[in-house]
Each structure stands twice: as C-alpha cells, then as structure tokens.
Amino acid sequence: MNERNSMPQNAIANGNNADIRTPVLIVGGGPIGLALAADLGRRRIETLLVEQRENKLNPAKMLEVSVRTMEFCRQLGIAGKVRNWGFPFDWPLDSVFVTDMRGYELGRICTPSLGEQAHIPSSPERGMPCPQTWFDPILQEHARSYPHVTLRHRVKLESFVQDPSGVTATLKDEQSGKTEAVRAQYLVGCDGFGSTVRQLLGIDIRGALHIDWAMTVYLRIPDLHLQHDKGKAFRYVFVGPEGTWSFLSIVDGKDLWRLQLVDLDEDRLHKADIAAMMRRGVGADVAYTIEHKDLWTRKSTVADRFMDGRVFLAGDAAHAHPPNGGLGMNTGIQDAFDLGWKLAAMLDGWGGDGLLDSYDTERRPASARATEASLRNYRRLISAAQRADIYSATPEGEAARHAIGEQMVEENQKSWHPVGIHLGYIYHPSPIIAPDGTPRPEDDTFGYAPTTFPGARAPHVWLAPGKSILDLFRNGFVLLNFSERPVDSIMRAAESRGVPLNVHRIASREAAALYERPLVLVRPDGHVAWRGDAEPADALDLIDTVRGAGPHIAARRATSSPS
C-alpha cells in the first residue's frame, strides 16, 4: 500500500513525529461514533474519538431505538437506562391518520403503551422510543466510563494519510486553533452524511442525493391531548385533498412535539406559516412555543465502498436514509457492532488478513437493504390517494375516507416496527461465514422467522427467567453445544490461533429445536458463523475461516496482490 489520501505537503507521514498515538481514531461523536467507542471500550481497546462540535445537546433527529439496537444496548449493559429514561409507560403509541385532530379519523395503527406491551417472542428486548437527546448522552456516558476511551469535543479532522502500518491524521483544535498529528492503526469515519473521511478517500455515493426538502419543527404544546378527541398517540398523520401533508410526533411523552412538513420546494418551506399549519393539523388554534426548526433534504444513498485500507466508514457517512421507519441510526449502530469486534480482533492479534475486508462485504448489502426499505416507507406515507372529497360529509366522502384509511393502515404497518428489517438480515455470502450448503431463507423485511442459517442473527430463546441465550454472546466466539457431541478439536483449533472461544452446553430442548443443529458457532456480534451436526473434519480450517484467515481468503489475496 502506498501513502495516499489528502494531506498537506508538510504533513507528518508515517507518524514518526505524531503528537498522539492511539490504536483507533474515531471521527464524529454522533450516535454511531459513540456506539463504536463504547463497543471498543468494552473490548478494552484504547480509542480516541474526536467531534468538531461542542458537547451540547441538539434537537433529537432519531426518536425510535430499534429492537436490534436495544439488543446491542443489552450487551453494553445500558438497555435499562434506554428503557427508563423517562418516556411515560402509559402513553399509547398509536399512529392515527386524520384529516385533522378534531376532524375525521381515517385509520389507526394501534400500538399499546410500553407498560401494556408484552415481550415479543423474537427478542429479549423490544423497540423503544428514546430520542437522540436522551440516547446519545447515555451512549456517551457509557463510552466515557472506560478509562482507555477518550472523547474530545471541538476537535476537527482536517486530513489524513495512510501507509501499510497505520494512519496519520491532522486534527485541529477549534478552540485554540492549533493542529496536532495523531498516529492511529485504524481510522473510522463516523462523521455523518457530509463525511470528510469519505471525501478524502474519494469514495462516491450512489442513490438519490435529493428526494425532497423537509422541515422539522420542535414545539412545546402543553396538554395537547385535551384539545382534541383522538386520544394520546405517538404520531398523527395529516391527510388532506393533496394527500399526506404533515405529521406530528410526540418526542418526550410530555409536551415536546415534532411537526414534519413535507414539500418539494425549499422556498415554500422557508416561508411556511407554522401557525396556519398547526391550526390546520389540530383543527383549532392551539398555544405552543417553537423550540427549534430544521430544514433538511431527504436522501437515500449508499457509498461505493465502506473501507479503504485501514480507514472505514460507518453510519450516515456510509449510508443515508429517508428517516421514515427509523432505520438510519439503527442501521448505523449495526455497522459499529460489526466493526467493533473485528478491529479488536486485529489489535488483539487473532484476526486474519481478510477479517476487516468482510466489513464491507457484510455491511454494504445490509445497508442497501435498509435504505431501500426506508425509501419504501417514505413512499407509503405520502402515497395517500388524492381525493378532493376527503372533507365531504356525504356518502362519497365517507367512502373516500374509508378507502384512504384502509390503504394507509395496511401500507404503513409495514413501515413501523417491522421486526424483519431489524432482525432478519443475513450476512450471506461472507468470506468469514462457513456455509452449510442449505438454501438461504427468503429475505423478509417485515416478518421474522428465526433461523441459524450461517450468517443470520442467532435467535433468541429464554434459558432462565431474565436470561436470554443472546446474553452469552458478549466478547469472544461462543460454541453452543445442544448435544453430548465432543467439541475438543474446535476448542484446540481456537486456542492454537488465539481466538477467544467459550463453549456452552445447553440442555434446553426448546433452544435445541430453535437452533436446528447440535453445534452452532456464534460470533462476538451474535451472528451465526457455522453450524453442524458434528465437529468439522478440519476444525483449524473452520477457525481460520471465521477469523478471516481461511484458505480461500489467502488464495484470493494471493491472486489479487500485484506481483
């Protein structure tokens, strides 16, 4: 590998004169950078995270934490904090389609309050309303709790150069104006859609860079539920003769609301008369104060590559979604989950040469799947048929409202809380997953059928009250043995390669049936790496495959490297 990427002429290459040295440098302190810092922290990896902004709270973009992100939080030990940050457990989470809040109800997707929801069968956790204003500080506090994780604010990445043994980055302290050189073994750009890291790497993004303009308005509205007859809900979707024109979502379960205006025209959004919009949505004058307004463009993009040598992209830097369906951050968290253990494996010395390449192979298709789903969610939301008679108090008007309501309910329940999009993604094909020759289960972004097909998320089952099988997947690999079969050769192979492996003998018949094979090897991120009826003939080959040093990886590298 030659030195490459943008760097001022006089910059320090090879890091000989670096001011700071760190194994991992994370650029960006949004939720993805923080999640990665926390994950590396628990894996005992020294990490420096730099964020250009001040350490202060911004209005919440993300409102909903997915079931899979909650499983990640469970691994970190912060799921309780995310559950109990303050959203009232008795607040109904319905989505209500209305002409206005005092007008016609077109349809309703009923979702019980947190207090009424039962456990879902597929996970020990469930999706949670936890806006970024609360979620990010929980992640940040957790990341900071590791003494070897350093978070620095008002520090901006300006440039970097990489060579075969590391990356040298130039950082600028925004307060003092001073620059400093940091030498890292790996750099991860979690620096959002406008990613400096991605631009410095010259990686293109594909997809729709501009779908439309949108405006988010954060409003304090005391006792809104007393001013209409539709009851408390998570969101109200406003539908007029022109179709869906806006929606209002509760942020804090008290009096903070978020109004989203959808329009193609930036100028019209700038001039939007919020008072008139609120009057139209509520159906009456209502007292409120505006806390914040945000104008943004809806996009749906995926980067051409998620990595280049020792530099990686994660979160919005790699893929940007229409926010509909709440997949943006939740998909990015899975990038961090996938990358964290792989970086740790390299730094701990047991990762093979091909391990990090699998980050791109695994996460790029998974992200593309989620961005496509987000776009579909958005189209469903705005697809309400345009009916001039929607307000009409006639049988025709009634029929129009009924038809629109039915359509919107049926379509949109595929968008909110579909377990399949979060739990159903399978890393297949992947160079570090050992296939077993069975056909890949059909991809379902809505429903979820548990499977141990290699590459799938290992399914949840309770082993004891409060103890999920997922709780076993924390640090190294886990070999689940649902039988009396010997596993000595896999254990010896792992030991000889320095791969951390815990073996668990599971007596539960329910778990054995769910896991489909007597032996299942699970990765540190909870995905199935291999399954079998008995130990493989060559256990060393298996262990080499899952640590990214399999014979096919070595062969591929040999043919692709210049002679």
Ligand X SMILES: Cc1cc2nc3c(=O)[nH]c(=O)nc-3n(C[C@H](O)[C@H](O)[C@H](O)COP(=O)(O)OP(=O)(O)OC[C@H]3O[C@@H](n4cnc5c(N)ncnc54)[C@H](O)[C@@H]3O)c2cc1C
Which residues form the interface with ligand X (CB under 6 A)? 27-33, 50-53, 61-64, 156-157, 190-192, 196, 216, 296, 315-317, 323, 326-330, 332
Q: Is the dihedral of CA 461, 464, 470, 476 positive or negative?
A: negative
Give the nearer residue to ligand X in terms of CB position, either 327 or 434: 327
Longest dimension (CA), the chain: 80
Identify each DSSP E strand in 241-352 by its residue range: 243-250, 256-263, 289-303, 307-308, 311-313, 319-320
Q: Shortest distance, CB of residue 191 to ligand X, whole angstroms?
A: 4
In whole angstroms, how far apart are CA 342 and each of 46, 471, 534?
14, 19, 27
- Helix H segments across 440-507? 488-497
Give the nearer residue to ligand X in terms of CB position, either 46 or 51: 51
In whole angstroms, how far apart are CA 387 and each of 4, 104, 241, 280, 405?
57, 14, 5, 17, 12
Give the nearer residue to ligand X in terms of CB position, either 71 or 191: 191
Q: Shortest distance, CB of residue 57 to ligand X, whole angstroms?
A: 12
Give the nearer residue to ligand X in terms of CB position, either 326 or 454: 326
Give the nearer residue to ligand X in terms of CB position, either 316 or 535: 316
Q: Shortest distance, CB of residue 216 to ligand X, whole angstroms?
A: 5
Q: Shortest distance, CB of residue 85 to ligand X, whole angstroms?
A: 15
Q: Shortest distance, CB of residue 550 to ligand X, whole angstroms?
A: 31
E strand or H helix at 346, and its extent? helix 328-348
Q: Shortest distance, CB of residue 319 to ligand X, whole angstroms?
A: 9
Q: Shortest distance, CB of residue 109 to ligand X, whole angstroms?
A: 16
Give the nearer residue to ligand X in terms of CB position, either 35 or 96: 35
Residues sharing a CB contact under 8 Å with residue 23, sequence separation 6 or more, in sequence order: 45, 46, 47, 184, 185, 186, 347
The tokens describing 42, both together, are: 């628990």
- Helix H segments across 236-315? 266-270, 274-282
In whole angstroms, how far apart are CA 178 and each of 28, 170, 171, 249, 351?
19, 10, 8, 43, 36
- DSSP letters along 14-37, please? TTTT-SEEEEEEEE--SHHHHHHH
E strand or H helix at 411, and its extent? helix 395-412
Q: Shortest distance, CB of residue 460 to ligand X, whole angstroms?
A: 21
Q: How far is residue 273's CA from residue 279's CA, in Å, rounded to a whole number?
A: 10
Q: Shortest distance, CB of residue 341 to ligand X, whole angstroms?
A: 19
